[in-house]
Amino acid sequence: MAEGKFGTCINCMDGRTQEPMIAWMKKGFELDYIDMITEPGPDGILGLRKKELADSIKSRVLISTEKHGSDTIVLVAHADCAGNPVTYEEHLSHLRRGMEYIRSWDLDVDIYGVWIGDETWLPDVVASIER
């Protein structure tokens, strides 16, 4: 097992969301490293269960949980998302459904859904599924 405490972030590829998520997760969950799994609009991919991409995300999550011992998974949605250009309400729905999908993988993890708004570009927890 790798040294240090790891967390897992299923984030958008959008460059505006990378540093905020790393800083916020390290501080909020007292983590040393964040395994960053990026796709365009991952809330839409998992929320709508787009199988091929969802399987790819899952395979990377499993490396983070099994090889790095991560027990914290954060799924991110954000404003002005080019990969999943839907309303705020739809993003929240995709986040919740995406989190349920992650739960169905039956991992020993806490799962959080985060929204990043375009006023501050700071993460905000909107839903959680804790063990």
Minimum separation from the CB atom of position 80 to Zn ion (A) = 8
Q: Which is nearer to Zn ion, 95 or 107 (CB)?
A: 95
Residues in touch with Zn ion (CB under 5 A): 12, 14, 81, 83
Minimum separation from the CB atom of position 82 to Zn ion (A) = 6
Minimum separation from the CB atom of position 14 to Zn ion (A) = 4
Q: Which is nearer to Zn ion, 21 or 107 (CB)?
A: 21
Taken in order 63, 69, 71, 73, is the CA torsion positive or negative?
negative
Q: Which is nearer to Zn ion, 28 or 83 (CB)?
A: 83
End-to-end CA distance of the chain: 22
Burial 24-42 (b: 16+ CB within 10 A, else e): bbeeebebebbbbbbbebb
Amino acid at 51: K
Q: Which is nearer to Zn ion, 12 or 37 (CB)?
A: 12
Radius of gyration for the alpha carbons in the chain, expressed in angstroms and rounded: 13
Minimum separation from the CB atom of position 40 to Zn ion (A) = 6
